[in-house]
């Protein structure tokens, strides 16, 4: 009894500091990782911009060959009225195409999971549209579609449609087979299986496809504007880039490219945030690991 009585307090006293040190070390590592996740990309970006500026200055590169970052930002400010008006046109096409891609992709994915005949009939056409470069389809679209906005929307939709369709179809088919058998035992209808089992199971896959489709819709809108090649007040950023290239206004070209890049980043960040808030309380991909 005396040996046991003397050993237990020592074990308890000895394990306490070790456990506290491990916990403190883990917390410190988590803090460093959280800070590095933001600091490292910012530092690398700042160094890249500084190096870009130094290369231009050291080599005395003319602004019509390679403008410095300061000149690009000043051009973005000076031409803000023209560039932001074109940005709104590009965004309109992008978001309209993304909305149609979501509606059509999810609807067709549900149809594929409910009807094998529909999947066998239409899935080859979806694959053909995905693997065919949009730059080869766009000229034909603008020949047969008179309305320029509809043609641009159709081009952007073709690019953004397949990731939504493929990911959502995969998610609908990935429902737990044990739960599927349980619902069959309880005589659940097709609508009940779809609503309470398949759609929740497909949500993470759909959101993954949405993150991809958001950027692809922007790419499709820009490529379609390039192919359309029409100018005027209602022109998007792609035409402004072409126009700047024809006039050797390279700073404006870089400013328009910067707007497109920032828009893509915002779209990806927004869709990622939507995915995080939708999945953070229940899905393994978003639950914080302890």
- Residue 230 in this model has a pLDDT that exceeds 70: no
For 231-286, how does the pLDDT look when each residue is reduced to its tens digit (9 = 90+)?
555 688 998 998 898 888 999 999 999 999 999 999 999 999 998 888 887 666 65
Give the mean pLDDT of 42-56: 93
- Residue 1 in this model has a pLDDT that exceeds 90: no
- Residue 104 in this model has a pLDDT that exceeds 90: yes
For 163-187, how does the pLDDT look when each residue is reduced to its tens digit (9 = 90+)?
999 999 999 998 888 888 888 888 8
Give the mean pLDDT of 207-218: 94
**Distance of alpha carbon 189 from alpha carbon 217, whole angstroms:** 36
CATH number of 69-279: 1.10.3720.10
Signed CA dihedral, 107, 110, 115, 121: sign only: positive
Return the axis-axis angle of helices 80-114 and 148-173, rounded to nearest 10°: 40
**pLDDT on residue 157:** 93
**pLDDT on residue 16:** 56
| Domain extent listing, the chain | 1-60, 69-279
pLDDT tier at 11 (50, 70, 90 boundaries)? very low
**pLDDT on residue 19:** 61
HSE-up (13 A, CA, CB side) for residue 215: 12
Selection from 173, 176, 137 nearest residue 156 by Cα: 137
Residue with more model confidence, 100 or 290: 100
Residue with more model confidence, 199 or 33: 199
């Amino acid at each position: 009894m005396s040996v046991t009585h003397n050993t237990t307090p020592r074990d308890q006293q000895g394990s306490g500091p070790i456990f506290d040190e491990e916990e403190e070390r883990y917390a410190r590592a988590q803090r460093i990782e959280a800070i590095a996740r933001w600091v490292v990309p910012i530092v690398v970006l700042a160094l890249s911009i500084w190096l870009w500026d130094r290369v231009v200055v050291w080599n005395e590169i003319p602004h019509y060959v390679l403008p410095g970052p300061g000149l690009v930002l000043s051009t973005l400010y000076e031409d803000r009225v023209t560039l932001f008006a074109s940005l709104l046109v590009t965004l309109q096409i992008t978001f309209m195409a993304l909305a149609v891609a979501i509606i059509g992709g999810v609807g067709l994915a549900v149809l594929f999971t409910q009807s094998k005949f529909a999947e066998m009939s239409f899935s080859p056409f979806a694959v053909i549209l995905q693997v065919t470069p949009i730059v080869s389809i766009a000229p034909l679209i603008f020949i047969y579609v008179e309305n320029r906005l509809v043609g641009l929307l159709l081009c952007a939709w073709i690019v953004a449609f397949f990731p939504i369709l493929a990911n959502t179809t995969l998610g609908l088919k990935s429902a737990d087979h044990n739960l599927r058998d349980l619902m069959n035992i309880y005589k659940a209808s097709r609508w009940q299986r779809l609503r309470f089992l398949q759609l929740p199971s497909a949500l993470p896959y759909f959101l993954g496809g949405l993150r991809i489709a958001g950027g692809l819709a922007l790419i499709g809108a820009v490529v379609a504007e390039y192919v359309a090649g029409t100018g005027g007040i209602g022109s998007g950023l792609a035409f402004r880039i072409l126009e700047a290239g024809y006039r050797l206004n390279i700073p404006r070209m870089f400013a328009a490219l910067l707007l497109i890049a920032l828009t893509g980043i915002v779209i990806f960040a927004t869709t990622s945030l939507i995915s995080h808030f939708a999945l953070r309380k229940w899905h393994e991909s978003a639950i914080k690991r302890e």
